[in-house]
Each structure stands twice: as structure tokens, then as C-alpha cells.
Amino acid sequence: MLHMSNLLKLENQVCFPVYSLAKEIVSRYRPFLEELDITYPQYLVLLVLWEYRQQTVSQIGEKLHLDSGTLTPLLKRMEQKNLVTRMRDTGDERVVNILLTPEGSLLQQRAKAVPEKLVENLHVSTEELLLLKNVIETILSNLNK
């Protein structure tokens, strides 16, 4: 049991190693994503679009836990790189549909090696990463109850 005077020590915080690991993982992605000329947030958007092909801005935001104020400039940059097309919905002008371009679709083939390269770079087993992922998902789902 932690003594009250130890509660505020950095080494006893759950948040700090989680924060540090998240930063470290994102930084380990960087060289692999630079080869594809995309950023980590762009990679996340592409993962969604490779799976669903077309999404609204709000659907992407919901899946990635990002608000439209963060997503809109990100999607504009992706459109400038010719990875996505942004189209206003004909039925509701407030809705913006995001579609993959042929270039965005082709990038999926080149990105297939990224997860494997990342696992190698982290020097942990796939099983350990899956265990970590499952624990994190359990905590997140319990927070949303």
C-alpha cells in the first residue's frame, strides 16, 4: 500500500508511463511514416479510410477521438497531398464526406509494412503488445460506462 506522502511521487503515477509510452510509440512511427510522406495523425485518418473507404468528418472524428477543429486542417493538408477528397453532402451541406483518392488507396500497399516495422523497433513481442492493447481497451471501455 502506498503511503500518503508517496502518492504524489512521479514514479508512482500511472499517467506518466502511459503518457511517456504514447509519445515514444508515436515518435517510433515517424521514420516509417516519413518514407510515406505522411504524419502520424494522417496515418490514423488513412487507417480509417482504408477500412471504410468513405466517412464523414464527424465519423472520422468519432473513431479517432478528434474534434472537427483538429480534423479540418489535417484533412485539408491531406487533400493538398492528393490523398483524400473532401465533398459536401448533397443532402446536407453541413456534412463533409471524405473519400480516398487513387493515390490514397495506393499508399495502403506501401504502408502494410509499418505495423511489423514498429513491433520490431519496440523490441517487444506481439503477444506483449496485444496484452497491453487489451488492458488499455478495457480501461478505456470502463471509463466510458
For the full predicted model, state whether its pTM sits above 0.95: no
pLDDT at 87: 93
- pLDDT tens per residue, range 45-87: 999 999 998 999 999 999 999 998 999 999 999 999 999 999 9
Can you tell me the distance from the alpha carbon of 42 to that of 79, in angstroms, rounded to the nearest whole number? Answer: 11
Closest CA to 83 of 109, 116, 45, 57: 45
Structural domains in the chain, sorted by start: 15-143 (1.10.10.10)
- pLDDT tens per residue, range 9-32: 888 888 889 999 999 999 999 999
> Beta partners for 97?
56, 87
Can you tell me the distance from the alpha carbon of 145 to that of 129, in angstroms, rounded to the nearest whole number? Answer: 25
If pLDDT is split at 50, 70 and 90, which confidence band does 1 have?
A: low
